[in-house]
């Protein structure tokens, strides 16, 4: 065993600091030459202690002893450990490091290391700086290569997907989401959001870590040690996901305005470090330039209302029934005009698809198609949403707000559920349609609009006019051309055509072979009354695709989803959406367990989830079960 300080220095200098495992080599040298049980080099990163290298039996000293060594800038002894701080690091404010040795005589070993502390930590610091420089160079090269690929992507949704994919890969994480700030609706919009229909998640602008980052403009790092209470567990519950740790940084434009945030979840190996946060911030600096224009951002935020032209080109009304042939012919004749159109039909018949077809077959197809659900607009929100407002118009009007009519300038505005608009709202809408101009709430300047208006409703507006609950003059203004979308039960063999269309589309999405409808299944589909129309049919087919695995669809496969009075799950219409969803899940899983004789492995397989996830869902729903 070497006992002289000079001999120890010579041994240390023989090690190469350019080796990636230099800290491990140094720790092993100290264990061998000093007869220690364990040796470790650790660095303080906030309240976390990162292990740079260790040797021996690889145990670690108490963290309070490490902290005491840093605080006092002197050797601390505890339970056979000697913890020697790097005074050089403390002096210049860099990352703080401590060398710890576990041995029979820690005072003697500590005194020996103290004699060579400066050259020892100089070597450690040199390795640390070398590693930081090489890591930074490699990181910059990787990020620049990724950013270069981004600029070659033409579709915004594809770009966002690649951004999220690069973030998770680069940082070794489980998930990531890009949030954009929809200030008009006071929401943060995440794309993509796994586990959410449509891949889009909307949360209040002040919710969780992302809300704080957007509000303050400061990046955050959160884990079980720091800030666990900031994690939005409501979102975790909705997505059936458990967030252990995360990093999040703001997205800013060239004017330093905050437009959103980039969030990465669950480091696969340990926890996120300050270096990881620096990587995310560097990545974020390239994102806004890749998104290119504010319009692309607005289209992304408003993806529920503004429909991309490329996707709309694939729209079609499936069906060869006389009603559908006549409807498609009328759409073709009137699409390229500016006539006002009233679309009538039950819920789920496809009124919005009809409006999209009209828009994208018109001369306005390259301009926005904006949809407004009139049933969701209260009296107080109506003017602001449709016509906009100026800053200071009312208490919460902190910024100017562009109304839907302006957003749809040169394009098309769909007023969905127009029959639910109040009489006062109808009067204001009529004035705008007649004058072809809007005045923002709180403003005085008229703004000219050139917007085609399409209205849709599931109500009998003529009857509402007779009942004095809908203005006659507005009815005639909207009802230049009437299109009636037939209920699915009236469309005969179109039901089978639609079912086969959805089977093909959804099977490709689910990466499975397209099952064939047997004659018995066709008969069963045609016998059902379809109160939910096309929307209900699509839901039925989607469940079939994901919950059956045969090459054919039999009538029995449909019983549990379409039988209106059968033994399948029945949910009260009096429940809220959340309660109804929970009730359906409970009934549906119970039915599957019964159908498969309690074989939980088969139940999980048919539900398309892992067995452990099935048990977790059962616990969430309040079932008393175990995995035994």
- Residue finishing a domain among 243, 277, 301: 301
- The answer to whether residues 317 and 457 belong to one domain is yes
- Helix crossing, 611-620 with 600-607: angle to 10°? 90
State residue 255's pLDDT score.
Answer: 77
Task: Clarify whether residues 104 and 232 are in a common domain.
Answer: no
Secondary structure percentages of the chain, helix, strand, coil, to 5: 50, 15, 35
Tally of CB atoms within 10 A around 117: 18
Host domain of residue 616: 569-628
* Close Cβ partners of 73 (under 8 Å, ≥ 6 residues apart): 85, 87, 90
The DSSP output letter for 449 is -
Co-location of 227 and 332 in the same domain: no
Query: Which residues have CB under 8 Å from 2's CB, separation 6+?
Result: 8, 11, 33, 34
Residue 285: closest CA among 304, 259, 311: 259
Do 175 and 26 fall into the same domain? no
Residue 516 lies in a domain: no
User: Is residue 331 situated within a structural domain?
Assistant: yes
232 burial type by CB count under 10 A (0-12 exposed, 13-18 middle, 19+ buried)? middle
Q: Does 375 lie in the same domain as 291? A: no
Which two three-digit tokens encode residue 379? 């009296």
Q: Do 90 and 96 contact (CB within 8 A), yes or no?
A: yes
Assess whether 102 and 199 both reside in one domain.
no
* Residue 590 to residues 535, 546, 559, 597, Cα–Cα distance (Å): 25, 17, 16, 11
The reported pLDDT for the residue numbered 154 is 59
Is 543 inside a domain boundary?
no
Instruction: Kindly give, in sequence order, each residue whose CB lies less than 8 Å from that of residue 416, ignoring residues fewer than 6 positions away.
Output: 351, 352, 371, 372, 373, 374, 375, 456, 457
With a CB cutoff of 8 Å and minimum separation 6, the contacts of 330 are 481, 483
* 607 phi and psi angles, rounded to 5 deg: -80, -15
CA–CA distance, 67 with 47 (Å, rounded to integer): 9
d(CA 222, CA 246): 5
pTM above the 0.85 mark?
Answer: no
The answer to whether position 145 is within a domain reads no
CATH number of the domain that 171 lies in? Answer: 3.30.450.40
Instruction: Give which of 504, 528, 508, 527 is closest to 517, Cα–Cα.
Output: 504
Residues 285 and 351 in one domain: no
> For strand 369-373 and strand 412-416, is the pairing parallel, antiparallel, or unpaired?
parallel
Strands 452-457 and 412-416: parallel
Give the CATH number of the domain where residue 393 resides: 3.40.50.300
Q: Is residue 499 part of a domain?
A: no
Encode 123-148: b = buried (16+ Cβ within 10 Å), e = exposed: bbbebbeebeeeeeeebeeebeebbe
Clarify whether residues 424 and 357 are in a common domain: yes
Helix orientation angle between 379-387 and 423-435, rounded to the nearest 10 degrees: 20
Q: Which residues have a Cβ under 8 Å from the Cβ of 359 and sit 6 or more positions away? A: 312, 335, 365, 369, 411, 412, 452, 454
Q: Examine residue 495 and state whether it is found in any structural domain, yes or no.
A: no
Alpha helices in 198-245 (DSSP H): 208-216, 233-239
**Cis previous bond, 53, omega within 30:** no
> What CATH number has the domain bearing residue 598?
1.10.10.60
Longest dimension (CA), the chain: 106
396 Cβ contact partners less than 8 Å away, ≥ 6 residues apart = none
Residues 269 and 191 in one domain: yes
End residue of a domain, out of 270, 301, 332: 301
CB 55 within 8 A of CB 99: no
Q: Are residues 156 and 295 in the same domain?
A: yes
Give per-10-residue mean pLDDT for the chain (628 aa): 61 73 88 90 81 89 89 88 79 69 91 84 82 75 74 68 85 87 86 55 85 91 68 68 86 84 87 86 80 51 46 70 93 92 92 91 85 81 84 78 88 92 91 91 88 93 93 94 93 94 90 91 88 88 86 78 47 62 80 81 83 82 66
Q: At what angle do helices 117-150 and 5-13 cross, to 10 degrees?
A: 20
Q: What is the number of structural domains in the chain?
A: 4
From 430, 456, 486, the end of a domain falls on: 486
3-class secondary-structure state, position 17: coil
- 418 and 437 share one domain: yes
Q: With contact defined as beta carbons under 8 Å apart, do 532 and 347 qualify?
A: yes
User: Is 535 inside any structural domain?
Assistant: no
- 300, with CB counted inside 10 A (0-12, 13-18, 19+), is buried
Give the tokens for residue 551. Answer: 């090459």
Q: Write the pLDDT tens digit of every residue in 193-220.
A: 544 455 567 888 888 888 899 999 999 9
In a shared domain, residues 356 and 288 = no
In a domain, 20, yes or no: yes
- The phi, psi pair for 296, rounded to 5°, reads -60, -40
Residues sharing a CB contact under 8 Å with residue 310, sequence separation 6 or more, in sequence order = 155
């Amino acid at each position: 065993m070497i006992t002289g300080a000079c001999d120890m220095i010579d041994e240390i200098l023989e090690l190469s600091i350019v080796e990636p495992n230099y800290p491990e080599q140094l720790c092993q040298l100290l264990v061998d030459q000093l007869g220690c049980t364990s040796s470790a080099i650790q660095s303080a990163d906030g309240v976390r202690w990162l292990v740079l290298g260790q040797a021996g039996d690889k145990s670690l000293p108490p963290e309070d002893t490490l902290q005491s060594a840093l605080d006092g800038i002197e050797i601390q002894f505890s339970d056979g450990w000697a913890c020697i701080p790097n005074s050089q690091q403390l002096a210049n404010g860099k990352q703080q490091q401590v060398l710890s040795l576990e041995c029979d005589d820690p005072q003697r070993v500590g005194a020996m290391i103290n004699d060579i502390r400066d050259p020892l930590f100089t070597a450690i610091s040199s390795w640390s700086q070398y590693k930081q420089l090489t890591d930074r160079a490699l990181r910059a090269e990787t990020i620049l290569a990724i950013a270069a690929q981004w600029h070659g992507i033409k579709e915004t949704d594809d770009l966002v997907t690649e951004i999220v994919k690069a973030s998770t890969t680069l940082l070794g994480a489980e998930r990531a989401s890009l949030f954009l700030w929809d200030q008009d609706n006071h929401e943060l919009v995440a794309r993509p959001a796994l586990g959410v229909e449509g891949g889009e998640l909307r949360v209040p602008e002040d919710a969780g870590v992302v809300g704080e980052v957007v509000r303050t403009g400061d990046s955050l790092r959160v884990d079980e040690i720091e800030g666990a209470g900031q994690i939005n567990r409501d979102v975790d519950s909705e997505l059936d996901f458990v967030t252990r740790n995360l990093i999040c940084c703001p997205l800013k434009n060239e004017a330093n305005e905050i437009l959103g945030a980039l969030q990465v979840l669950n480091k696969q190996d340990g926890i996120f470090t300050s270096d990881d946060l620096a990587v995310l911030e560097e990545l974020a600096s390239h994102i806004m330039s890749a998104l290119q224009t504010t319009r692309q951002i607005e289209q992304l935020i408003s993806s529920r209302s503004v429909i991309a032209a490329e996707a709309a080109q694939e729209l079609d009304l499936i069906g060869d029934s006389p009603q559908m042939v006549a409807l498609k012919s009328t759409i073709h004749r009137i699409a390229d005009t500016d006539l006002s159109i009233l679309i009538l039909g039950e819920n789920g018949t496809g009124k919005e698809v009809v409006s999209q077809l009209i828009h994208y077959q018109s001369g306005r197809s390259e301009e926005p198609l904006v949809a407004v659900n009139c049933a969701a607009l209260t009296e107080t929100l109506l003017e602001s949403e449709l016509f906009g407002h100026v800053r200071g118009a009312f208490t919460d009007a902190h910024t100017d707000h562009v109304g839907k009519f302006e957003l749809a300038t040169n394009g098309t505005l769909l007023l969905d559920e127009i029959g639910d608009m109040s009489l006062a709202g109808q009067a204001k809408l009529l004035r705008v349609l007649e004058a072809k101009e809007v005045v923002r709430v709180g403003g005085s300047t008229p703004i000219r609009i050139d917007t085609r208006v399409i209205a849709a409703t599931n109500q009998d507006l003529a009857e509402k006019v007779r009942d004095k609950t809908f203005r006659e003059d507005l009815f005639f203004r909207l009802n230049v051309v009437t299109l009636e979308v037939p209920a699915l039960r009236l469309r005969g063999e179109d039901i089978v055509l639609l079912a086969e269309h959805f089977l093909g589309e959804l099977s490709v999405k689910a990466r499975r072979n397209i099952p064939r409808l047997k004659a018995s299944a066709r008969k069963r589909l045609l016998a059902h009354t379809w109160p939910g129309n096309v929307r209900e049919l699509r839901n039925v087919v989607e469940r079939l695709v994901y919950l059956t695995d045969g090459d054919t669809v039999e009538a029995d496969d449909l019983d549990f989803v379409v039988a209106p009075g059968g033994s399948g799950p029945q949910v009260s219409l009096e429940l809220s959406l959340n309660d109804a969803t929970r009730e359906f899940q409970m009934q549906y899983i119970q039915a599957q367990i019964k159908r498969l004789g309690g074989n939980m492995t088969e139940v999980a397989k048919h539900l398309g989830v892992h067995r452990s996830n099935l048990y977790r869902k059962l616990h969430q729903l309040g079932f008393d079960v175990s995995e035994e």
